[in-house]
Structure formats: structure tokens, C-alpha cells
Amino acid sequence: MLVAIGAAVAVITGIGAGIGIGLATGKATESIARQPEAKKDIRSSLLLGCALAEATAIYGLIVAILIIFFLK
């Protein structure tokens, strides 16, 4: 039972990553609308930030899988 709770807590990192990526995308779209000539710089920063945020979600998933299979 506690293993399942621990895995669920580890997977919750995906929620934070989704919220973060959504906020970043919204702000990037807003800044491109305000300053279209900076589109390339904004896009590259957005992609780097999204990749780092998505990495945390993937790490949470891996930890959850490790908890399920190795702590049974």
C-alpha cells in the first residue's frame, strides 16, 4: 500500500511540469505578440525551458517506476 502511495507522489511531478509549460507557453506567445522581432530569441528560450520542465516530469515517472518494481 505504501509503495503505491510513494509512486503516486512521485508521479505528481508531472502536474507541476504541465502547469509550468502551459504558463511559459502563454507568456512566450504574449511576448511574441508584443515584440515580433524577438521571435527567434523567445522561441529558443521557450524550448529550453520546456525541455527542462519536461525532464522533471520524466524523472518523476522513472522514480515511480523504480519504486513500484524495486520496493515490492
* Residue ranges of domains in the chain: 2-70
- What gap in Å lies between CA 37 and CA 70, rounded to an integer? 51
Short-list 42, 14, 10, 13, CA closest to 28 = 42
For residue 63, the one-letter residue type is V
Q: Is the pLDDT of residue 18 over 80?
A: yes
- Above 90 in pLDDT, residue 50? yes
What integer is the mean pLDDT of 11-19?
A: 90
30-46 pLDDT per residue, tens: 999 999 999 999 999 99
**Residue 29 pLDDT > 80:** yes
pLDDT category of residue 25 using cuts at 50, 70 and 90: very high
Q: pLDDT value at position 71?
A: 85
Question: Does CATH number 1.20.20.10 belong to domain 2-70?
Answer: yes
